[in-house]
Amino acid sequence: MPGGGITANWNEASPAETDIADAAPIRSIETSLRNILAVEHNFPSASGPNFGYHLLGSCRAYVDVQSNVSSTGTDGRLMQTSDTSRFFHVGSGGTSLIGGATVPLIGSYPGTVPQRSYWAIEFGSTFAPAGTASVTWPNSGFSGVPTVTASASTDNGTQQAIVVTMQNPSGSVSATGAFIRAVHGSTDIAVSNVTIHWISIGSRTL
């Protein structure tokens, strides 16, 4: 990959306006200019294929906080966010999330192209003395209804299987939370003093 620059023989006072025309200083200026541009561009001493193009890996990405990710009339630009460790393509059609430290890799694609959504996973547990609990998904929930799984554990000596459901009389799981109920598998009676463990996965729109 390109380095961090070069030491260039660059002197804008040479040749002086009073100097007699000479090819040597002019050639020196051309050589210095080529060496400077060649740090990040394909700039051989003679013209060739891809002459003047950026060298692979020479482009510097923007680095700023995520709230400043935006674009107007640009394509092929990249930005890394210093506060969320996410990587974006910044294009004329809008920004597109490429990846990040907190973005899971999942087989299906959230949203539409360009990608302005990402998969998010939240998990936790709650103690339910009467076998029921209302859970609010952390971090402002999801942009749609997530997929949720839950299990329950108890230390009261119950031998029957525990069934956990997210269905309540008012409806199913929502983008902001769920009502979770743990019951004995054979009696449909709520299990008391139970800890309910849950995990939810859904998409969020940027």
Average pLDDT over residues 165-183: 76
Residue 108 inside a domain? The answer is no
How many domains is the chain partitioned into structurally? 3
Q: Any idea which of 20-34, 49-63, 109-123, 142-156 has the lowest mean pLDDT? A: 20-34
- The CA distance from 54 to 71, in Å, is 21
Phi, psi of 28 (to 5 degrees): -65, -40
pTM of the model: 0.56
Q: How far is CA 168 from CA 132, 171, 177, 178, in A?
A: 10, 6, 12, 9
The reported pLDDT for the residue numbered 21 is: 65
Residue 2 and residue 16 share a domain = yes
Phi, psi of 27 (to 5 degrees): -65, -35
Interval 97-112: pLDDT, tens: 888 887 777 777 777 7
What single DSSP character describes residue 37? H
Residue 55 and residue 67 share a domain = no
Residue 110 inside a domain? The answer is no
Residue 109 inside a domain? The answer is no
Residue 112 inside a domain? The answer is no
Q: Which of 140, 127, 109 is nearest to 196 (CA)?
A: 127
